[in-house]
Amino acid sequence: MLRELWRARSLVRMLARQDFFVRYRRATFGVLWAVALPLVQAGVLALVLSTFVRFELPIPFVVFVYAGTSIWSFFNSGVAAGSTAIADGRDLSTKIYFPRAALPLVRSASNAYSLVISMLALLGLCLVTGTGLGVEVVLLVPAFLLALVLTSAFGLVFGALHVYFRDVRYIVTAALLAWFYATPVFYPLSFLEENHAGLATALSANPVSGVVVLSQAAVGMTGTGLVAPVLWTIGWSLGLLVVALVLYARFDRVFVDLL
């Protein structure tokens, strides 16, 4: 199966590029929406929360929140689209044979274009707000790669399960709504570590927390432990990839019969 996926890499790349550009083709502002949506979300959160809550941060609050929302938007859209990718791709699946695992990977790869643009916008926001950038900015690279692997892993597992259980899309949608608030996007883990140590430990085990704090650390967010959340994210990614490998190795060839 892995060999077949490797041979299908050109197909994944082509479909991902097509999916990304078709998504914004008829929009007046085009790919700028990839930046605008997370930026609006970050702006609203920063405006509302700064009125009621005060966090002592080494960087502007809007930069802190945007660093988190850009990662979360990528994860949210990638997992939601990946969970239905195989069922949604039934027309293509019934015409030619290719490893069905390619379909969730296409969704993650397509959204990766948006994440790259969002990260460039994050650097621009740092310059506009006067946020100093240091050598830690290179952490954006592992943050991007880790977010891509984690999102792909979840998409692969949920996509396979959705072929058999069509309730998965609704469960994933509901879970993502609650998941957002359990992710340190608009509050620093360091605040919880000082005031609610048990809760901070639990949230560190959140699969997305490691990627979010890594992205925030890249733009100067210090004082938050990186090791535990990042290790949890790596562990979740590897574990889910193993589960996905087992699922697709066993059921890939019968997926089309259930579509």
The pLDDT tens digits of the residues spanning 83-139 come to 999 888 877 766 777 788 889 999 999 989 889 988 988 998 899 888 888 899 999
Question: pLDDT value at position 52?
Answer: 67
Exposure string for 61-96, b = 16+ CB within 10 A, e = fewer: bbbbbbbbbbbbbbbbbbbbbbbbbbbbbeeebeee
Q: Report the mean per-residue pLDDT for the chain.
A: 85
Place of tokens 């609610």: 196
Name the more confident of 196 and 62. 62
Whether 196 has a pLDDT exceeding 70, the answer reads yes
The span from the CA of 119 to the CA of 148, in Å, is: 13
Question: pLDDT value at position 6?
Answer: 83
Q: Which of 149, 104, 114, 121 is nearest to 12 (CA)?
A: 104
Which 3 state secondary structure label does DSSP give 117? Answer: helix
Torsion 74-106-247-243 (CA) sign: negative
C-alpha pair distances (Å), 227 with each of 86, 183, 234: 35, 16, 11
Q: Angle CA(133)–CA(52)–CA(119) in degrees, nearest 5? A: 30
Torsion 81-240-178-143 (CA) sign: negative
Q: Which of 220, 230, 225 is nearest to 142 (CA)?
A: 230
Contact 127, 52 (CB under 8 A): no
Number of domains the chain is built from: 1
What's the domain range around 162?
Answer: 2-258
Torsion of CA 209, 214, 218, 219, to 10 degrees: 10
The span from the CA of 209 to the CA of 203, in Å, is: 7
